Structure formats: structure tokens, C-alpha cells
Structure 1
Amino acid sequence: MKANFEVAHVLRQHWKEVEKYPQINSWQLRVLSALRRCRTEDLGGHVDACTDCGMMRISYNSCRNRHCPKCQGKNREDWIAKREAELLPVPYFHVVFTLPDTLNQLAMHQPKAVYDSLFEAAWQTVACFAKDSQHLGAKAGMIAILHTWGQTMSLHPHLHCIVPGGGLTKKGTWKTAKSKGKFLFPVKAMSKVFRAKYVKALKSRINPDKELINVLFQKEWVVFAKRPFGHPKAVLEYLGRYTHKVAISNHRIVDIGQQHTTFSYKDYRQGAQKLEMTLDNLEFIRRFSMHILPRGLVRIRHFGILGSSSKQATVPLIHRELGIPIPEKEPRILEIYNPRYCPCCQKESMVSIQRLPKRGPPKSNLPKVSAQF
């Protein structure tokens, strides 16, 4: 269902002010411009007509930007379809690595160093515990997804990770984790290792202030572990919720006025109670822009036995080890926009009959078409 309000509406309403806003850099401005123009005549498009009933419509092109609330549906489904064949027939565990708010200021000025260090430290922490025979004694795998926002679009960098419940030994045999329904490794110990690994990773990229490092070691870092997923397909459902999220979905926006934007959020400190927050429009845009990632930063990464260079060999090997064949790919029912669907006669009979250049012609100049051609 189409949202009543969109991030793009706020951007178009205040674009001249956004262009001059000192806290939005040139890269963020470029991304925001793409979101503002998404599915408008600015990007061109095409005229569609139904071969059955003759109904016509204009379809404008998408910006395809990964930060756009309107462009993630198909990307998400395509990504999940590729992961389906890589699922292992083992329990998966969910762990979240969170950076302390002490690093927020640095994340705003040097986001690539902060976020690359987060990925590196999280994987090194998992790999370190997995390698230890006391915990597992095998090579693990991990898929990590970067989120930088909280429910109110405040800066809250954290990784959502899924880890298979076991690993491959040096002999190439599968070793199942002795988890007994709990997470693979003790989270309090992981938190301390994660902190040390992160500081080391950050120092390898930049020269952080000594006072900042001291404060980081004084803080208690958070590694949150959830119980394992019930079955491998639950992993796909989870990934569908988290992989292609953006800072805020259009459906969460309740109202857009001349000066303020109101949106809904969940307060997890009050039992996930649903509340509303109202922000000045430029503050809303500023908060959204904080979560625009640097150019080229990969926000979904695969590690260990699930790494892109390893999984072609490891996934079939683990299936053979466990005596479970790789399941055949099942067709997914996609709840995304179908360009061939005609809302009038409800048939898949729409075809494109004309391309529209950027800044397309007014609707009154549309060509006439008969129901049959």
C-alpha cells in the first residue's frame, strides 16, 4: 500500500534550504537529490498501456539509490533469493554488536574508518572464540548487516549478525556447537574482546585521540545475543526485515506540515510502546542524512565459511557432511510492484508504448491508443 507521506515530500518542500544547510555535505546532498527526484518526471520514464482494456498510465523511473525508502523492495527480494541456496541445515544464532555513543562524533566525521573497524572487530571477535577449542574449535562463518540508526533516527551504529551453529575443523569436517539453546559464546567475555579488537582496528585506520581511547576502555561495551532461529528459513525471514532497511520508512511518517514532520517510533525501554515524535523539517532531514553511508561502503558483508570466496566450496561440503542434500529452490511470492499488472482489468497486460525523456511531457500530450494493437 502506498504511503501517504514520503521523505521525498519533505525534501522537495525545503530543497533550497537543504542545498545551503551547513551540516549536509556534498555527497549527502547528491544522495538526497536522487531521493527527491525518485519516480518523478525529472528522471524520465515511460507510458504504459493495457492491451486488453486500453487503460494508460505514466511510470516514472526510480533512482535505485540504496538509501531510498521507495527502491528497496526488489533489491531485498533479489538478495534473499541468492542467499536461499547458501543456507546451511544447522541452527543459526543472532548477535548484535553495538558501538558506544562516545564514537558518534567520530562516526559523523570519519564514518568509513568507524564502520569498517566495526565489521573487522565483530568478525575477529566471533572468529577468535570459534577457534578456541573450549568454545568450538572450528572455523565459523558470519553475515553482518550494518545499521546506523535508532528508532528516532539518532546515530546508533550497530551490526546485526547471523552465525551458523558450528564450523569446519582443519580436517574439513563439520563440528556442531554445544549451545544447549543458548548463544555460541559468553557475551560478557565477547564484549571485552570486541572492545579491544575495535580499538586496535580503529588505530590501524586513523590516529584517534588518546583521551577518546581511554574513555572507550572505561565504558562497558554491549554485545547482545538472542536465542537461535527455529529453522534455517527463519533466517531468510529475518534477513528480509533487516538487509535493505533505511533510516526511516515512508509508512512511519504520520504527517508533514510547513514547519514540522511527525513520525511514529517504538520505545523499547517501554516495552516497544508505539509513540510519535515531531521534528522541525530541517532537523528531520539532517537526522536522515546522518545515515547516508560513504560512497562505496559495503553494508552487508560475509565472513569465514560464508565468505564470497569460500561458500562455493564450503556450503556443498557441509551439506554432504551432514547427509542433507541442498534443497531445490522454491519460488518466492513477491509482494512488490508488478509493472505488467493493470489495475483496471486486473490482468498482466500492460506494455510500454513510449519512452519519456527527463522532464517528461505534460500528460495532455500522451498518445492515444486503442484496446487492441
Structure 2
Amino acid sequence: MSTFIDLLRIHHDEFERQFGNQLSHDSRRAIYAMLSCKTGHQGCSQWFCKHCNHDDRLPLSCGHRHCPQCQQHTTSDWLDRQQSKLLPVHYFMVTFTLPYELRPLARSQPKALYQSMFSVAASVLKDFSKRKHGGEIGFTTVLHTHSRQRNLHPHLHTIVVSGSYNKMRNQWYKGKSNYLFNAFALAKVWRARMLDAIKYHTDLSLPNTEKLPTKWVVDCRKVGYGLPALQYLSRYLYRGVLPDKDIIDTSNNTVTFRYKDGQTQVTKTRTLPTLKFLWLILQHVLPKGLQRVRDYGFLHGNAKRLRMRIQVILLHLFNWKMPLLTETTQTEAIRICPCCQHEMCCVGITKAIERKINASA
């Protein structure tokens, strides 16, 4: 059982009294899902061992993307799918960050703000590429809403393929191994376009521009070559806001967790009252329907033919072996028999509503 869910279950009533008026509908949905995860309220799965005829019932997980007990295999499934898109070039990580003064918008209108962040960041990278080579680029963007201390800190991690493809000439432009775009120029355009997007969005209101910083932060750095770059990005994807292993103490009605300082890389700790800790984590629940990982350009799911054309070009340029195009499937749940240690098979699922109907009958 998750330490966070245990704390939420114990202090749920008290938490509702103190922070209930600040919870969004999406946060309440997440709380309900986590509290019912693997408790039997979702239903049960029926398992059978063909070796020793042992059968067992297991409560279903909630499957909510913010539940620390679920999504264990999501990152590995994503990495398997991305290997078919692999290119033998350098990759860069570009991080777009919102200033502190715009974080109230993330609390009041998160969906509108985050959608604007995605569209603006994509337009900035595409325009920089067109001015540089005149070709199309490919990149994957991941939304994160927290800092290392788990405070609200919206930012986008974008992994960009170094190089671009010119459709008219059917030609690949090789990028530099140590340089993608000027980070200061990216930050300047990022600031201007985000302020315009907020200004003209019907659901967003721009705060006093005089209080906004004149310089925003965009970080651009090389992160690897080929598969290691994808593995690097996978660490930013579906991990929870705070893994259970980083919660080191829950005594005296407080919670202490560890984190790594971004400047010094030294491991530090932070201690908060339990209710404030719960609120710290739950404020990062994303709106329903908001896709937090998105592919663009020739990495988009609908660009398979274009991507294969690029791979063929690079095959001749670099004498490179193309990745095998295998059918990608989601990781299946596995249960080991407690009696004989053989693999069991799932023979059925009973939903909670079905059990209620059967009970009433």
C-alpha cells in the first residue's frame, strides 16, 4: 500500500475541512480513485493457476494517472513504442519555464494555461527550425508542474532531434552536435508569445505586466545520442510527483521527504505538517483530458511514413541499422502463484457494480 494513500485515508476528513474549498473537481476525482484503489470498491480480478489449480481474487487498481500505486509499467511501454522512432543523431533537451508571477493562473485555470504552454512552445521550436534550415523537426514535450521541493512550478521538458527534414528536396539537414538554438533568443520569443496567448485567451487574465520579469528562463542542453537520449527522457515521463521511497518519516503529525537540490545536487529534506503535505502533492493533479506527453513533427504518431523516409535517408548517410518495426503492446499484468511459483492467468474480472447487482438479486 502507498504511504501517501495511507496518509490520505487517515487524514481525509480533516483534510477536507481545511482544504476542501480549494480542491478542484479533478482533485476530488483523484482522491476518490486513490482511496478506492485496490480496496475491492473497484471490483476484483479472478486468477487461476493451471499447474496446481490454485485460484485467487485480487482487488482492482483504480488506474488513475496520479495514483502512486498505478502506472508502474507506463514508462517502459512508452519507451518500447519510441524505439521504432529512433534516429542516429544527437538529441537536445529544451526546458520552457513559467515565472513565479504566473503560477496563480496555474491554480485557477490550469487547463487553459497548460494548453497554451504546449502550443506556444511548439510554435517557437518550429519557427526557429524553419529560419535555421527551412525544414521540419521532430520533438516530444512533457509537462511537469512541480519543482524539486514539490512546489507549484509549471514547465515543459522537450526533447528535440538535432537536424531537420526538407520535404521539397527530400533532404536531411544534419544539426550540430553541441548546439541547437540560442537559449536567450528562445526565452525572448517564449516570453512574448506566452504573454500574447494569455492576453487573448478568453479563459485567462493577464496579471500586471509591470510586475512580470523581463527575462524568462529557457534551458537548452545536449542530452545524448540515440537510445540513451530516449532513456533519459523516460525518467521525466510518468513518474509520480513524489515516490514512496523518498518519504522518510511520517511521525509527529508531520511528513519528511527527501529531494535533490538542483544547484548543488546535494540530497536535502523538507518537513511539513501532514495536511499541508497532502495539499502540496494534490495541487499537481492535472485536469481531466489534458495530455501531458505530446509528439510533434516527424515524431507524431500520424507521421509514420515520413519518419520511415527519414530513417532510410539516414541509413545511407551513416550506414546505420534501422530499428526493428515490431508491434507495440501494453505490458500485461503478471501474477505468480503463491503455492507453486508458476505464472497464473487472469480468467475474469468482476466489476463493483456487477457484485452489487448480484448481491441484490
Q: Please give the TM-score of this superposition, normalised by the length of structure 2.
A: 0.87
* Offset, 1:255: 2.6
Tell me: CA distance 1:63–1:136, structure 2 relative to 1, closer, same or farther (3 Å): same
Structure-1 residue corresponding to 2:214: 219
Structure-2 residue corresponding to 1:321: 313
* Offset, 1:261: 1.9
Mapped partners of 1:307, 1:68: distance in 2: 27
Structure-2 residue corresponding to 1:163: 160
Mapped partners of 2:207, 2:347: distance in 1: 64
Counterpart of 2:202, as a letter, is I
SS in 2 for 1:268: coil
Counterpart of 1:66, as a letter, is R
Mapped partners of 2:294, 2:194: distance in 1: 17
Structure-2 residue corresponding to 1:89: 88
Tell me: CA distance 1:74–1:184, structure 2 relative to 1, closer, same or farther (3 Å): same
Q: Could you tell me whether the CA contact under 8 Å between 1:319 and 1:326 is conserved in 2?
A: yes
**Are 1:203 and 2:199 an aligned pair?**
yes
SS in 1 for 2:89: coil
* Offset, 1:7: 1.5
Structure-2 residue corresponding to 1:136: 133
Over the matched positions of the two proteins, sequence identity in percent amounts to 32
Counterpart of 2:174, as a letter, is T
Tell me: CA distance 1:210–1:291, structure 2 relative to 1, closer, same or farther (3 Å): closer
How many residue pairs were aligned?
347
Tell me: CA distance 1:87–1:204, structure 2 relative to 1, closer, same or farther (3 Å): farther
Mapped partners of 1:319, 1:356: distance in 2: 46
Counterpart of 1:172, as a letter, is N
Q: Could you tell me whether the CA contact under 8 Å between 2:109 and 2:203 is conserved in 1?
A: no
**Are 1:342 and 2:337 an aligned pair?**
yes
Q: What are the superposed Cα offsets for residues 212-266 of structure 1, whole Å, 9 maximum, x if unpaired?
A: 33333x332111112241x211133123211212211222222334622222111
Structure-2 residue corresponding to 1:182: 178
Q: Could you tell me whether the CA contact under 8 Å between 1:319 and 1:325 is conserved in 2?
A: no
Q: Could you tell me whether the CA contact under 8 Å between 2:44 and 2:351 is conserved in 1?
A: yes
Structure-2 residue corresponding to 1:364: none
Structure-2 residue corresponding to 1:16: 13
Mapped partners of 2:255, 2:307: distance in 1: 47
Mapped partners of 1:206, 1:232: distance in 2: 41
Q: Could you tell me whether the CA contact under 8 Å between 1:8 and 1:37 is conserved in 2?
A: no
Structure-2 residue corresponding to 1:191: 187
Q: What are the superposed Cα offsets for residues 50-76 of structure 1, whole Å, 9 maximum, x if unpaired?
A: 444566654211111111122112222
* Offset, 1:358: 3.3
SS in 2 for 1:224: strand
Mapping of residues 1-373 of structure 1, within 5 Å: 5-20=2-17, 21-53=20-52, 57-132=56-131, 135-169=132-166, 170-177=168-175, 179=176, 181-206=177-202, 211-216=207-212, 218-229=213-224, 231-257=225-251, 259-269=253-263, 271-309=264-302, 311-322=303-314, 323=316, 324=320, 326-329=322-325, 338-348=333-343, 350-352=344-346, 358=352
Tell me: CA distance 1:219–1:35, structure 2 relative to 1, closer, same or farther (3 Å): farther
Q: Could you tell me whether the CA contact under 8 Å between 1:88 and 1:315 is conserved in 2?
A: no
Unaligned runs of 5+ in 2: 356-361
Q: Could you tell me whether the CA contact under 8 Å between 1:140 and 1:166 is conserved in 2?
A: yes
* Offset, 1:122: 1.2
Structure-2 residue corresponding to 1:370: none
Unaligned runs of 5+ in 1: 362-373
Mapped partners of 2:326, 2:309: distance in 1: 21
* Offset, 1:340: 3.2
* Offset, 1:207: 6.8
Q: Could you tell me whether the CA contact under 8 Å between 1:154 and 1:287 is conserved in 2?
A: yes
Tell me: CA distance 1:356–1:304, structure 2 relative to 1, closer, same or farther (3 Å): closer
Q: What are the superposed Cα offsets for residues 137-158 of structure 1, whole Å, 9 maximum, x if unpaired?
A: 3221211000001122100111
SS in 1 for 2:170: coil
Counterpart of 1:156, as a letter, is H
Tell me: CA distance 1:358–1:211, structure 2 relative to 1, closer, same or farther (3 Å): closer
